[in-house]
């Protein structure tokens, strides 16, 4: 075995400190250190320097390091989302609660307010101050419509307040034999044109109605259509009145049938009191019929009796010369009975029978000689 130099021996110092030398290497190192003059001092210095390094005070992370690491740790997406939505709690929670309340309130207002707004746009008419004190309070249109469809009309019903429905006094007059009440008086027109009972006069008188009356007419017509979608859908397609039915008015001037509104406007009441012919709508009628039965006044009374017995009612009336046009509302289950009664009164001709009848059946009946 060749002798180790001091350089070779000093290369073993680290292994000697770490105790990784073989027994043979350690023996040779120890033998050299026992005989060499320089190497023992080098060994002591080496051993001491390693001891100094190993004796260094351990480094310590500053306080809060763990929390900082945990805070910087990426979180699952749902936690990140929740954190972004909710943190800081004192700020975001009140804001979000206020936003939820605001949105909920707006939603409730919109949901509740929309029908009212639409209704208000349709029927801006307010009851006049001259409304009779005994009159019952206004009933919502939809409720009144349903009530009319399910229950026969009675004389005490609020229909008397309706613009184009027969007022109580008119009904009484209609039951009298005097044909002058049944017939329409000439319109209060300044032009001395054709006779009052002619179709032309009727058309002119309609044209001279006030804007308020026309507005009310359109509003009521729209309300009728809204209340009866089936009828409203078919109304524009209804055949125009024939030339032989001069009392049948143009569609835009048609009066409502059953839709009750507030009390009549002053202009409309004036027209009623003057006996001016009122227009009868064909838009809401399911059936248009003609009855030729001699004297219209007599047949009208008979028709009234017939309808009343059947639980129906006369919705409106218009006179036109020798003819009268009645708008009837008859319960659907009694319509056949009424139809047979009308046939017994004279020659009945059904001009138009719509398939989508409502209950009650609405009949536009023209009485002719």
Residue 303 CA to residue 211 CA, distance in Å, equals: 34
User: Could you say whether residue 5 binds other proteins (CB under 8 A)?
Assistant: no
User: Could you say whether residue 7 binds other proteins (CB under 8 A)?
Assistant: no
Q: Alpha carbon of 184 to those of 202, 274, 276, 279: distances in Å?
A: 10, 9, 6, 11
Which of 3/61 has CB closer to other proteins? 61
User: Could you say whether residue 65 binds other proteins (CB under 8 A)?
Assistant: yes
Contact assessment for residue 310 and residue 331, using Cβ atoms and an 8 Å cutoff: yes
Supply the minimum distance, in Å, between the C-beta of residue 87 and other proteins. 17
Supply the minimum distance, in Å, between the C-beta of residue 98 and other proteins. 32
Total count of residues recorded for the chain = 369
Alpha helices in the chain (DSSP H): 6-10, 13-17, 23-35, 39-54, 65-72, 77-86, 89-122, 141-150, 168-175, 179-182, 199-207, 211-227, 229-234, 266-273, 296-309, 335-345
> What is the per-residue binding string for other proteins in 71-100, x denoting contact by CB under 8 A?
-xxx--------------------------
Supply the minimum distance, in Å, between the C-beta of residue 21 and other proteins. 11
Residue 294 CA to residue 308 CA, distance in Å, equals: 21
Contact assessment for residue 289 and residue 349, using Cβ atoms and an 8 Å cutoff: yes
> What is the per-residue binding string for other proteins in 141-180, x denoting contact by CB under 8 A?
----------------------------------------
Contacting residue, 1, 2, 23, 59, with other proteins by CB under 8 A: 59
User: Could you say whether residue 340 binds other proteins (CB under 8 A)?
Assistant: no
DSSP 360: S
Binding to other proteins in span 15-34, by CB under 8 A: 15, 17-18, 20
Residue 184 CA to residue 196 CA, distance in Å, equals: 8
User: Could you say whether residue 251 binds other proteins (CB under 8 A)?
Assistant: no
Which of 22/130 has CB closer to other proteins? 22
Q: How many residues bind other proteins (CB under 8 A)?
A: 32
Long-range contacts of 110-115 (CB under 8 A, 24+ apart): none
Contacting residue, 35, 62, 84, 154, with other proteins by CB under 8 A: 62
List residues binding other proteins (CB under 8 A).
11, 13-15, 17-18, 20, 41, 44-46, 48-50, 52-54, 56-62, 65-66, 68-70, 72-74
């Amino acid at each position: 075995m060749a002798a180790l130099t001091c350089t070779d021996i000093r290369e073993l110092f680290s292994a000697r400190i770490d105790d990784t030398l073989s027994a043979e290497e350690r023996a040779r190192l120890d033998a050299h250190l026992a005989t060499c003059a320089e190497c023992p001092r080098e060994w002591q210095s080496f051993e001491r320097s390693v001891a100094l390094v190993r004796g260094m005070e351990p480094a310590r992370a500053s306080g809060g390091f763990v929390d900082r690491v945990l805070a910087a740790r990426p979180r699952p997406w749902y936690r990140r989302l929740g954190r972004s939505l909710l943190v800081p709690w004192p700020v975001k929670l009140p804001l979000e609660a206020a936003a939820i309340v605001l949105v909920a309130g707006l939603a409730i207002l919109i949901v509740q307010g929309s029908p009212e707004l639409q209704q208000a746009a349709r029927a801006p008419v307010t009851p006049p101050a001259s409304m009779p004190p005994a009159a019952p309070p206004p009933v919502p249109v939809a409720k009144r419509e349903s009530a009319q469809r399910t229950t026969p009309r009675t004389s005490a019903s609020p229909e008397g307040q309706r613009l184009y429905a027969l007022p109580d006094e008119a009904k009484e007059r209609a039951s009298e034999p005097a044909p002058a009440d049944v017939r329409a008086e000439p319109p209060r027109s300044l032009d001395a044109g054709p006779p009052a009972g002619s179709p032309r006069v009727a058309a002119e008188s309609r044209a001279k109605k006030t804007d308020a009356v026309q507005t009310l007419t359109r509003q009521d017509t729209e309300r009728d259509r809204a209340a009866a979608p089936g009828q409203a859908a078919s109304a524009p397609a209804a055949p125009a009145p024939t030339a032989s039915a001069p009392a049948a008015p143009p569609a835009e001037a048609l009066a409502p049938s059953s839709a009750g509104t507030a009390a009549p406007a002053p202009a409309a009441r004036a027209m009623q009191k003057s006996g001016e012919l009122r227009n009868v709508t064909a838009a809401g009628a399911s059936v248009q019929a003609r009855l030729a039965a001699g004297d219209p006044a007599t047949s009208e009374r008979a028709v009234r009796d017939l309808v009343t017995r059947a639980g129906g009612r006369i919705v409106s009336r218009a006179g036109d010369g020798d003819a009268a046009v009645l708008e009837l509302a008859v319960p659907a289950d009694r319509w056949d009975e009424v139809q047979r009664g009308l046939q017994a009164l004279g020659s009945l001709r059904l001009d138009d029978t719509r398939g989508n009848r409502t209950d009650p059946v609405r009949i536009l009946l023209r009485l002719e000689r």
